Structure 1
Amino acid sequence: MQHILDDDVINVQASCPTDPERDFTEAELADCYRLAWQLLVSGVSMPSTRKLVLSIAMRGSATPQQAVEFKHMRARFKKMRFACANYSELHEYPESLHSITRLMGRFQDAFKNGRKLRALWSGVKLWGRLRTSYFADLHEELVKAQFSTLGSFQRYIATENQHLAEGAPEEVLLTARQFHELRKIVSRRIALNDTRRALTPSPEFDTLSLFLATVNGLMGKVNDDLVLEKMRSKIDYENQTFKLPEEIASRIRALVLSQRS
C-alpha cells in the first residue's frame, strides 16, 4: 500500500534503469494478481465505503480525513483494475470493476474542484454501485479470472510499449483524451513494477519505481489542469491538442528504449 501512495512522488533526479528487467514467470504473474486481490478484499468494507461516499456527496466536499480515506479506498480498486489488465489472460478490465473505478475518479474530481452538484450526482450513483450484491458479483468475476500465459503477457507489454512510443516523439501534439490514455499506460506499468517489488524486493525495481513515479507525478499535474479546464468548459477535451511537455516526453522515450534493451 505504501508503494501505491508513493506512485506520483516526483524526483527529477530519478533516472531510468538501463539494465533489462528479469523476465516474469507465469507463477509470478499469478502471484501479482493474487496480491492485488488481497489488497482489495482485505481493505474495503462496503458499508463503511458507502457511508463515506454518501457523506461526501451530501455535503459536496470532503474533509481532509475523508479525502485521504477515499483516496486510499479508490487506490485499492485501481490496483485491482490494473491487475486485470496486466496479469489476466484477456488483459482487460471487467466492465463492472471499470465502471466503479471510473465513477470514483469522476466523483473525486468533482469534490476536489468544488463542483457540488456534480459531486452529489456522481456520489449518489457511486453509492448505488457499491451495494453489496453488485460487489458480490464483481467478487465472483475476479475470482474466476484466468491468469495470463507468458506469451500473452509479452504481447501485451509490447503493445503497451508501442502506444507509449507513438505518444511521445518530439513535438508531438495530443488531445487531452490521448494524454489521459497515455498516462493510464504509465499507471499500469507502475502497478506492474510495484506489485512485483512487493513480492520480490530489489534495488533495480526500487530504481524503476522512483523513475515511473516521477513520470506519473509530472503527468498528474498536467492532468489535473486539463480536468479543471474541462469542467470550466475552457477546452475541447476530445479534439483540442497541446504539446506534450518535453520533461514528460523525454522520460517516456527513455522508458521505451530501456524496454527494448
Structure 2
Amino acid sequence: MIKGKECRKFSPETMQLLFTAIDEDDVVDESVSLPVVINLQCSQEDIKNNYALCIQHWEEGFTRRMLLGLILKVSGGAGLNEEERRQLKNIRSRYKHLRFAQRLYSKNHRSMFFFSKITMFLGRFQDAFRNDKTEEITFYSRLLRIYLTPPFWLWVKYSVRHVSLDSVSAFIHYRQQQILKLKALIASPQLTGKEFHTVRKIISQQVSYYDTLRAIKPADNEAREISRFLAAINGLMGDRHDEMVADSLSGRKSYKEKVSMDLDIRQRLELLVERYPVGQH
C-alpha cells in the first residue's frame, strides 16, 4: 500500500514535463511511429513513482474552492471567459489522469468510487456546457456541489493516497489484456458510440502511463516516442467522439448506432496491436 508520507515529491521541472506531455495528448504528430519492439518491462519503483507523480499532479493543480467557483458560475448562467474555460479543462484533465493511474497501478485496477464519480460528472458537466444543455448543466452541477463538500473532499484526498499497488508482473499482464481487448473490439468494421469510447479509454490509459514515465525519465526516448504515437490516436478519437456525443445530445444520431472507424485511426490502432507484445512478459 502507498501512503501519503511514502509518496515521493517531484520537482517543479518534472511537474511541468508531465503537464506538457498531457497537454499534447490531443496533438497529432505525423512524424512519430512506434518502436519495432515495445518493451513492457518496468520496476516496482517505477509503479510507485508513477502513481506518486499522478497524485502530486492532481493535488497541486487546483483547489476545491476554485473548482466549485467555476461550477457555480456556469450553473448560474454567467458563462466562463477563455482563462476559466482553460482552468476547467485542466482540472478535469488532472482528474482523468489520476483515474487512469488508479486503474493502471492498483491491484484491483479500479478507480476509487467517489473519485471516479466526480471525474465522470465533470465530463458530463463539460459536455453539457459545451453543447448549451441547461437541464444537464443544472443536474450535474448539483451533484458536483455535493461531492465537493468538505467531508467528501477530505475522504477522496485520503483514499487516493491509500491504494494497494500491483506487482510488476500483474501490471504488465493487465496492460497486455487491455490490448487484447482492444484487438477484439477493432476486429469489427463498425463500432457503437460506447464501443468507440471503450477503445479510446484503453488508449488513454496507455498514453497516461507513457506520459508519466517520460516526465520522470526525460532521457527515455522510447517512452516519449510511444507517448506521442498514442497521443495522436487519442486526439483523433477525441475529436470524433465529441462529434458523436454532440450528435446524440442533439438527436441527430443515436449513440447506439454503429459507425465505421476513420481509416487513419484504424491503421494506427492496428499498428499498435501488431507491435505490442501480448504473449509473454
TM-score range (shorter-chain normalised) is: over 0.9
Q: Deviations over 1:70-122 (max 9, x none)?
A: 01111111111011011111111111111000000001111111223322221
| 1:20 CA drift (Å) | 2.3
Measure the CA separation in 1 of the matches of 2:171 and 2:103: 10
Q: Helix, strand or coil: the match of 1:70?
A: helix
Measure the CA separation in 1 of the matches of 2:105 and 2:191: 29
| 1:48 CA drift (Å) | 1.7
* Runs of 5+ consecutive residues of structure 1 not aligned to the other structure: none
| Paired-residue identity, % | 26
| 1:67 CA drift (Å) | 0.9
Paired letter, 1:224: D
Q: Helix, strand or coil: the match of 1:59?
A: coil
| 1:61 CA drift (Å) | 3.6
Contact kept, 8 Å, 2:41 with 2:172, in 1: the verdict is no
Which stretch shifts more, 118-127 or 27-36? 118-127
Measure the CA separation in 1 of the matches of 2:116 and 2:171: 20
Return the match for 1:71 from 78, 82, 89. 89
Measure the CA separation in 2 of the matches of 1:108 and 1:198: 27
State whether structure 2 residue 202 is matched by structure 1 residue 173.
Answer: no
Measure the CA separation in 2 of the matches of 1:64 and 1:117: 23
For normalisation by structure 2, the TM-score amounts to 0.88
1:88-237 alignment to 2 at 5 Å?
Answer: 88-169=106-187, 172-201=189-218, 202-237=220-255
Paired letter, 1:72: N
1:29-48 alignment to 2 at 5 Å?
Answer: 29-48=47-66
Q: Deviations over 1:207-228 (max 9, x none)?
A: 1122111101110111010000
Q: Deviations over 1:9-54 (max 9, x none)?
A: 1123322222322511111001100100111112221112111111
Q: Deviations over 1:189-236 (max 9, x none)?
A: 110100011111222222112211110111011101000011012222
Contact kept, 8 Å, 1:60 with 1:111, in 2: the verdict is no
Measure the CA separation in 2 of the matches of 1:27 and 1:6: 26
Aligned to 1:243: 260
Paired letter, 1:257: E
Paired letter, 1:175: T
State whether structure 2 residue 22 is matched by structure 1 residue 4.
Answer: yes
Paired letter, 2:192: T
Measure the CA separation in 2 of the matches of 1:15 and 1:76: 26
Contact kept, 8 Å, 2:103 with 2:110, in 1: the verdict is yes
Measure the CA separation in 1 of the matches of 2:135 and 2:80: 14
Measure the CA separation in 2 of the matches of 1:137 and 1:24: 31
Contact kept, 8 Å, 1:33 with 1:83, in 2: the verdict is yes
Which stretch shifts more, 184-193 or 124-133? 124-133
Paired letter, 2:96: K
CA RMSD in angstroms, aligned pairs only: 1.5
Aligned to 1:50: 68
Measure the CA separation in 1 of the matches of 2:151 and 2:97: 21
Measure the CA separation in 2 of the matches of 1:99 and 1:58: 22
Paired letter, 1:229: D
Aligned pairs, number = 259
Distance 1:63 1:117, change over 3 A: farther
